[in-house]
């Protein structure tokens, strides 16, 4: 009798769980979830993107999964992503909308970001040092990386001190001046502005995009003919100029195509940043409610790989080829499906900074150095390593100073 009673309650428990895991009316379809686990067994820890593509073939460009008891919606393909993020963009971005320092940037900060090109050009050697530090960490040289990071923090502190001594209130030269102005205005201990946070803020700005840079040099290192084409273009366009400017990109179709193709194939943040619905919306005819199972907002994940490798949108969707960004006349064109920073009002707020920094660093290094794949390094492995972001496997690189510039 007691065993029958326990069995009955177990059945009732799992019945209630099954009701909790039922999809609402007109919600995107998906695989049947298991109690407690949801659809976790449908995803591989090592390569979830392959599983998401398999589910896309079964359920279409908009489908849903349960991660434990939490339902999420995965959006695939350019058409569905554009409709969701642009046409029916009723989403919040958790990082953007929950962080006051990002959401409520005052006007001077906007002016500071406009001056970022000058800051990048003046600090390219400093930025390269940061990249080297990140690369050593990437290669597993933990002790050296730690020492370099501590040294870089001291250098940043010195730069902050210099800015504080020369700042003119109300006339910001760059993002540092803007931050220091706000720091002076903040008297509360609960303020999101502090010098320690400023040091980390600068480190994050400089370290951001390291994985994409590593992917870029992997391709340039192994495709020597492509590297030479870019260097010839740089020599022709820049001539005797001391340094490149961001505006020079308009005269560098080959280099610009290579940079964009690196961003497309690297796909460093394959799922962008999770979004939440702020209103009831119906992308591709499916209902995504503002409130789902008592929680605020439906979680939406954009699958960027499905767009950046979508057949029909690219000449060579599954291989590295800068021709994806060049027309028949050799002019640079940016396909509509190029959206590594997602799309819409809640796309990555650092897109312009990332594009500018990537361009100026790549151009500065290619102009001065030649990258060579070591003879004993074997065949290059372009398969990405899955983590918080996608990054290339560790590799060695041989660098020579160019004799003709």
Summarize the annotated binding site for heme as residue ranges.
348
3-state secondary structure 249-288: HHHCHHHHHHHHHHHHHHCCCCCCCCEEECCCECHHHCCE
Identify the three-state secondary structure at position 56.
Answer: helix
Binding site: what residues are annotated? 348
CB contact at 8 A, 338 and 264: yes
Distance, in Å, from the CA atom of 67 to the CA atom of 383, rounded to the nearest integer, reads 27
Q: Which one-letter DSSP state was computed for residue 248?
A: G
Residue 38 sits at φ, ψ, to 5 deg, of 70, -130
What letters, b where the CB count within 10 A reaches 16 and e where it falls short, cover 216-236?
Answer: bbbbbbbbeebbebbbebbee
Backbone Cα Rg of the chain: 24
Coil, strand or helix at 327:
coil
CB-CB contact of 89 with 75 (8 Å): no
> How far apart (Å, rounded) are the C-alpha atoms in residues 109 and 86?
26
Distance CA(176)–CA(159), nearest Å, equals: 9
Rounded to the nearest 10°, the torsion over CA 307, 308, 310, 312 is 110
Answer yes or no: are the C-beta atoms of 260 and 333 closer than 8 Å.
Answer: no
Non-local (6+) Cβ contacts of 207 within 8 A are 130, 131, 134
**Distance linking the first and last C-alpha atoms of the chain:** 90
Q: Comparing C-alpha atoms, which of 81, 85, 74, 75 is closest to residue 43?
A: 74
How far is it, in rounded angstroms, from Cα 76 to Cα 148? 41
């Amino acid at each position: 009798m007691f065993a029958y009673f326990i069995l009955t309650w177990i059945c009732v428990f799992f019945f209630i769980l099954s009701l909790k895991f039922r999809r609402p009316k007109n919600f995107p379809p998906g695989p049947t979830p298991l109690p407690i686990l949801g659809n976790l067994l449908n995803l591989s820890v090592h390569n979830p993107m392959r599983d998401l593509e398999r589910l896309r073939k079964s359920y279409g460009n908009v489908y849903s999964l349960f991660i434990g008891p939490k339902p999420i919606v995965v959006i695939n393909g350019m058409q569905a992503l554009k409709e969701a993020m642009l046409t029916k963009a009723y989403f919040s971005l958790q990082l953007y909308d929950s962080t006051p320092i990002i959401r409520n940037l005052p006007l001077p900060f906007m002016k500071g970001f406009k001056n970022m090109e000058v800051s990048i050009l003046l600090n390219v050697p400093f930025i390269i040092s940061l990249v080297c530090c990140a690369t050593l960490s990437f290669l597993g040289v933990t002790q050296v990386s730690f020492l370099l990071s501590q040294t870089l923090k001291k250098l940043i502190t010195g730069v902050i001190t210099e800015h504080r001594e020369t700042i003119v209130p109300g006339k910001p030269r760059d993002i540092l001046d803007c931050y220091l102005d706000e720091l002076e205005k903040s008297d509360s201990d609960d303020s999101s502005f502090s010098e320690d946070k400023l040091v980390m803020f600068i480190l994050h700005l400089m370290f951001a995009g390291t994985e994409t840079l590593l992917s870029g040099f992997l391709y340039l290192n192994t495709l020597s003919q492509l590297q030479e084409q870019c260097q010839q273009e740089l020599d022709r366009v820049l001539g005797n100029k001391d340094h490149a400017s961001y505006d020079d990109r308009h005269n560098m179709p080959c280099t610009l195509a290579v940079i964009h193709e690196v961003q497309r194939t690297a796909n460093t943040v394959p799922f962008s940043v999770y979004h939440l619905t702020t209103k009831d919306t119906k992308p591709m005819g499916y209902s995504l409610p503002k409130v789902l199972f008592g929680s605020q907002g439906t979680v939406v994940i954009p699958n960027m790989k499905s767009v950046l490798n979508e057949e029909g949108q690219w000449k060579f969707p599954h291989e590295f080829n800068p021709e994806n960004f060049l027309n028949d006349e050799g002019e640079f064109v940016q396909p509509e499906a190029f959206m590594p920073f997602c799309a819409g009002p809640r796309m990555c707020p650092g897109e312009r900074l990332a594009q500018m920094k990537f361009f100026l660093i790549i151009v500065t290094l290619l102009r001065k150095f030649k990258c060579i794949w070591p003879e004993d390094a074997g065949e290059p492995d372009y398969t990405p390593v899955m983590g918080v972001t996608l990054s290339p496997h560790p590799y060695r690189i041989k660098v020579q100073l160019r004799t003709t510039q």
